[in-house]
Structure 1
């Protein structure tokens, strides 16, 4: 169904338009995140050179399950998705390590959820361009869990924010990651929501790992379906007195994802995505644990069977099969027309190279006010205008 919008004055409309940009999603669609924890303990010692020793064929597989119940005030239906999450090194060309991420069912087949149906590529730097320290949250206790045929010396981190309507969050990390370096040594994880949030939670458990062979090699794959790292996209925001273009850039260093967003200055824009010094790092495993939750929480996007106008969204030299959804709303005598255009298939070859988060957002959105004579007057909108890989472009 078309999204419902409320008419807004110009200043507020800017905030609404920017909400289509990543990082401005509503709290309702977000899964429990590491930032929900407040008590910090020292993290296990990380092997600074683990990524430098990466081999083609290094792999770690987890079982995962995500569940969401009905809304706290009723409505909706309970939803569940479960299967396997696999991270595997598919190419190494130091300082870069290419990791393929795949969500599948227990038999290794693609999942029915569109957001999880395709594998993703994550090029990760084996070194860092700046110090990165992201401590685990919660109270830590030592334990010796057995998983994937091995007993590990580990720390269990527990953060219980349920008394303040937060989640119960548990993570178990090996003191020495060893073959689990792709996820910083993660062995077990779970999060349970509480309070006014959508009831449910998710869990992740180590199933198996494999170390690649010495000297194994493979060609660097094309960055066709990036999780984000190594790529960028730009969106034009035509709202207010100073419309402009916003660029979102992604990188990854030693298993941490970095994301920056800011205006494009054509006078100083020599090389895109050249500075991640202010980016807030987020552990790769935390991002990957959040995707199944988001797949359940997000409203289903338009499909070929959805009501709307079928057409083509043109950007640069690409023609993207698209669906445009339109709605009208009359508030205090002023009628407005809202339009959003989505990719009919978020995985269409026409979107090759587009970062994951942008595939499920509107390619364009607009708001128009109905004035005298039935004419439409634009109040602004957003439109994706460019994307690509910044790796190798410098």
Structure 2
């Protein structure tokens, strides 16, 4: 009974926070997302829109609230507004700005969300994928009201709370119409856990269709979300070394990721066949979720002091970094120690052009034996060894080259 009460209190708290988030602290009107199952013939059909129809000014805006408790890193919550907007169109590329703010429009305080990202999306053919929604849940046709508009929609849901799993639902407009940027996402809601709880809610509050009278200005690739870039990690052991290159792309609403080891001919990433893929809206949900999974920077347990600082060398450049040491006592004579290096400022100019997934984690890691007496003995290490964009110069802003 106590467990059920705790879950109900969490859900109620999340809902209250979302209501406050969407209605307070801003001079901009905020919509709401409510779902009512009524006869479908009462809702007008939405015109078909796809990435090939993208216009500068196309935009979707969501309100979000994320909360986690019981973690070793402490209890944390994050709330704000998430914007996805088309800022330039140069077929076959649609250039997106991804921006997160507080509810009052000011920059979000979390370092992961403080600056806008750039994301080039290629018009083309979407990779093989399952329909939007929750896997294994049959979609239920409904009518949804969100952002002042009625939508033909589909709802999927699942309740696994009896086994400490999530209680969740998703609602997608079908067809997506002007919400093509996020495959028609209207709302996602999920809560899970008992001793360690986590929940998030994201709901559409506004959208707009661009005028189509401008092709926009190509943005700089200083702060890429990921697509259009590559990065390399060099790993060394006592036996030798290897380099792994990660190439990141995006096509027709999906983010693509593919890695190669010891095969880095040139800087182009042209072959995304069999690449991992994730829908853009899922990547955006992951972005805001990370702001509670890593509530403080660098990542550390609640109450732990800041790690020591020092210079971290990346090629010919260097930057200030935190060095977090994790000892693992193996026997009474030695320790196995892992030292991870994190940029003190994840937006340091040295990291210009580095994709998000490499920026927001350790840039280096070294593992060694530390005898109780004597010099340490190297085991292995990894380090960010290079990054850049694989887009052609003609596809980039002149200020980026």
Equivalence for 1:17: none
Cα deviation 1:305-342 (Å, max 9, x = unaligned): 96444333222333322222335443212223332211
With a CA cutoff of 8 Å and minimum separation of 6, indicate the structure with the bigger relative contact order: 1
Equivalent residue runs for 1:114-263 within 5 Å: 114-128=111-125, 131-136=127-132, 137=135, 138-194=137-193, 198-239=196-237, 241-263=239-261
Unaligned runs of 5+ in 1: 1-44
Equivalence for 1:350: 350
SS at match of 1:274: coil
The aligned length equals 342
Equivalence for 2:11: none
Tell me the TM-score normalized by structure 1.
0.80
> Is the contact between residue 54 and residue 86 of structure 2 (CA under 8 Å) also seen in structure 1?
yes
Shift in CA distance, 283/370, structure 1 to aligned 2, threshold 3 Å: same
Unaligned runs of 5+ in 2: 1-44, 395-401
> Is the contact between residue 320 and residue 351 of structure 1 (CA under 8 Å) also seen in structure 2?
no
Work out the CA distance in 1 between the residues paired with 2:176 and 2:338: 50
> Is the contact between residue 158 and residue 170 of structure 1 (CA under 8 Å) also seen in structure 2?
yes
Equivalence for 1:112: 109
Equivalent residue runs for 1:274-285 within 5 Å: 274-285=270-281
Work out the CA distance in 2 between the residues paired with 1:84 and 1:273: 33
SS at match of 2:322: strand
Deviates more, 1:136-145 or 1:78-87: 136-145
Shift in CA distance, 185/341, structure 1 to aligned 2, threshold 3 Å: same
Cα deviation 1:232-276 (Å, max 9, x = unaligned): 11011113634201111111111111111230325xx24432211
Shift in CA distance, 345/164, structure 1 to aligned 2, threshold 3 Å: same
> Is the contact between residue 168 and residue 191 of structure 1 (CA under 8 Å) also seen in structure 2?
yes
RMSD over aligned Cα atoms: 2.5
SS at match of 2:272: coil
Equivalence for 1:101: 98
Shift in CA distance, 240/374, structure 1 to aligned 2, threshold 3 Å: closer
Tell me the TM-score normalized by structure 2.
0.79
Shift in CA distance, 312/80, structure 1 to aligned 2, threshold 3 Å: same
